[in-house]
Amino acid sequence: MRFNQFSYIQIDRSIQIKELKELGFDIHPDNTDKKNLESFVRKSFFLIENTDIPLSNLIADWDLDLLTFFQSDIALTDQIFYQVALQLLGFVPHVDYSNVSDFIKESGFPITFGNVIDNLYQLLNTRTKSGNSLVDQLVSDDLMAEDNHYHFFNGKALATFSTKDVIREVVYVETPVDTAKTGQTDLVKVSIIRPKATALRVPAIITNSPYHQGVNETASDAALHKMEADLLQKTPCNIQLEQTNLELLEGDTRALLVSEATEKLAHISSYSLNDYFLARGFANIHVSGVGTLGSTGYMTSGDYQQVYAYKAVIDWLNGRTKAYTDQTRSAFVLADWSNGKVATSGLSYLGTMSNALATTGVPGLEVVIAEAGISSWYDYYRENGLVTSPGGYPGEDLDSLTALTYSRSLQAGDFLRQRKTYQAGLSAERQALDRESGDYNQYWHDRNYLLHADKVTCQVVFTHGSQDWNVKPLHVWNMFHALPNHIDKHLFLHNGAHVYMNNWQSIDFRESMNALLSQKLLGYENNYRLPTVIWQDNSADQTWTSLKDFGAAKKEVFPLGKEIASIQQAYEEETFATYGKSYAAFHQDLYAGKANQISIDIPVKEDILLNGPVQLQLKVKSSVAKGLLSAQVLDFGQSKRLAPIPSLKARASLDNGRYHAQENLMELPFVDSPYRVITKGYLNLQNRNDLLTVEAVPADEWMTFNWDLQPTIYKFQKGTNIRLILYTTDFEITIRDNSEWIISVDLTQSKMLLPRD
């Protein structure tokens, strides 16, 4: 294990002593360091009446148990302090380490022995081997009373709220949209779990997920698209767009009875970060949105009607709109328990709605935690004028996602009444999204949140994986750079795929979010500041570092060769069929150099920290009046690298409260691998210069253009090998065209540019 501590807040010693005493630690500045350490250790074993016993089972050094040490005249040294500290954090001598100094250095232990009060205070804020901070571990064992009041340590809320005796309720919030054209405002079902703390007004963590009430996989599978087709030769044009004005309805102005919520919330699937905050006095809210089971309206999949329906929940928490006890709209429910301050959480579609909500500028939204979120739906299902599939889901498009998430279809009676509306909406969507050309159009323009990034007023935290080929890194790059300069923005860029990172051993993400949300939602003045970029170093195990920015100005230029090389588009029918059935077989051949491709190897002569999008400057011609290009850049050759999928470190060792929603401790394994994909890209040659300009491709004539691949941060080490692969059809991502044409690349006039720090 390595320690990477980004949540710790430096504070005055007088405040440290005060907070330690509030926890019951009898620490005095007049005591000797040894006496304070003994008092601290004994209090850490508060569950045991005779603390001599656990002290006798710890060691002070390799020849002396801790109880004997405290009873002796032996002075406290740095080695003894570290030995004791490591054991309190759950590390076992002779098992986890055999040399204290080496382990302290290799693990990046965050505490430097000095003033023992400072050291003990920071130790409580340090993560244990099990993944909890030491103070959270002790509180989960009942170090403090579960009194449903806020208590803080080092600027972070402690788990002092009951997660068993809570209020579980459902309300139906009125939205300003009418997605099914019924003439009535849509209602969204809101599932709430909140602390039973009647004397307090509490903030809320909202997860907006169209998956929450269930999904219709049968309908989605039926809506998948065939990927085998010829690439369309498009008519040159300039694409024209307009700003869509959202039609919003007036809310209910009737004078209705005000009631408590009458519907109780049964079991729901939750998100562990929300569970963590529930134990710390934050309401846990889940909203599925329009067109989902229990709500009304139609699933409009990513447009601002859907977004404004989610926004209505924040408006209700701030008293600006109405909620009802049920769909009869006969009684109002007030959010009189809410302090009006909100953060959002969740990954993928959930993180997408965090991005989208931020662009509404809704008052009360203080922080969005946008985890692997989409910033423009075009960039999820299209790329540079090509129809593409998100990684791992060939044939999916936004209409099949609509079919998946329109969970009203799971309630037979409701769907009986809504079937015609649903079928008409799905049919219209299939026409609007245009799978023929792959061009950006009004449908996609209405689902582009980057256009409204100037309206963001809240603090934004992004998490994203550099190996996420589902919601590709371009999404976080674009949103990160589209935000106004005055907005506080932060990025955790890890080396994983499309995965959560809040339960990883190597990073105190939960604690960092606790410090931030305690400040922004609870108003606790802790002076906490996150770095702009926190990046997981790919060259070592469990290593994170802060960077000043996402993107570097300096460019490292690599010539691509001294010849003209060609790519044959068509495959033998048997090979084409094999690749169509298994895109993994295609990738295997591609990385082995056996597909139709150009491979260029470039030796790395010095360490390079790539930071931003790799750019290809290419001179290309096609044998026909159309063409597509795919590209991948690899760190090629056998080496130890971070795998993209987290593996288990300890089962159910993370406690999100007090034996509440315990979850597995995970981490990206650092393992031997033959290569690592660094970045990718896909391009329609008819959109080679501009997304909104469709150009002709003159057959057998050279064209020059610049092409940015997916942005990333990656450390290439001296002596390694960069491999650039150029090819046409990608059987996982692009249309599968098996017609006869050839792409030629003049490598003598082509370059690869790496932005580097």
Same domain, 505 and 582: no
Measured in residues, the chain has a length of 757
Distance CA 609, CA 589 (A): 29
Same domain, 502 and 570: no
Last residue within a domain, chosen from 514, 531, 547? 547
Residue 681: inside a domain, yes or no? yes
Taking 70 as the pLDDT cut, the residues of the chain under it are none
Distance CA 207, CA 192 (A): 11
- In this structure, the dihedral spanned by the alpha carbons of residues 268, 274, 275 and 280, taken in order and rounded to 10 degrees, is -140
Write out the H or E segment, with its range, that includes residue 568. Answer: strand 564-568
pTM here? Answer: 0.97
Residue 615: inside a domain, yes or no? yes
**Is 281:197 a contact under the CB 8 Å cutoff?**
yes
- For 573-616, the pLDDT digits (tens) are 999 999 999 999 999 999 999 999 999 999 999 999 999 999 99
Which residues are the active-site residues? 348, 468, 498
Burial letters 260-295, b for 16+ CB under 10 A, else e: ebebebeeeebbbbbbbbbbbbbbbbbbbbbbbbbb
- Chain centroid offset of residue 225 CA: 28
**Is 33:76 a contact under the CB 8 Å cutoff?**
yes
Residue 94: inside a domain, yes or no? yes
Same domain, 412 and 497: yes
Same domain, 538 and 618: no
Last residue within a domain, chosen from 499, 526, 547? 547
Same domain, 89 and 150: yes
Last residue within a domain, chosen from 547, 562, 592? 547
**Is 247:304 a contact under the CB 8 Å cutoff?**
no
Distance CA 125, CA 364 (A): 30
**Is 645:656 a contact under the CB 8 Å cutoff?**
no
What CATH code is carried by the domain that includes residue 734?
Answer: 2.60.120.260
Contacts of 92 (CB under 8 A, 6+ apart): none
Same domain, 171 and 142: no
What's the number of domains the chain is made of? 3
Residue 239: inside a domain, yes or no? no
Distance CA 639, CA 158 (A): 42
Distance CA 278, CA 166 (A): 9
pLDDT at 270: 83
Q: Which residue has the tokens 């190996």?
A: 467
Distance CA 476, CA 470 (A): 12
Contacts of 153 (CB under 8 A, 6+ apart): 19, 22, 23, 124, 125, 135
Residue 6: inside a domain, yes or no? no
Same domain, 580 and 712: yes
Among left, alpha and beta (phi > 0; psi -120 to 50; other), residue 641 is beta
Q: Which residue has the tokens 């139906």?
A: 172
3-class DSSP assignment, residue 575: helix
- For 56-79, the pLDDT digits (tens) are 999 999 999 999 999 999 999 999
**Is 599:593 a contact under the CB 8 Å cutoff?**
yes
Residue 43: inside a domain, yes or no? yes
Residue 260: inside a domain, yes or no? yes
Same domain, 601 and 641: yes
Residue 246: inside a domain, yes or no? no
Query: What end-to-end distance do the CA atoms of the chain give, in Å?
Result: 28
**Is 92:52 a contact under the CB 8 Å cutoff?**
no
- DSSP alpha helices (H): ranges in 99-257? 100-106, 116-124, 134-140, 217-222
Same domain, 109 and 209: no
> 222 phi and psi, to 5 degrees?
-70, -20
pLDDT at 44: 98
Same domain, 379 and 459: yes
- State the residue range of the domain holding 73: 13-157
Same domain, 612 and 633: yes
Distance CA 397, CA 403 (A): 10
What CATH code is carried by the domain that includes residue 473?
Answer: 3.40.50.1820
Same domain, 280 and 373: yes
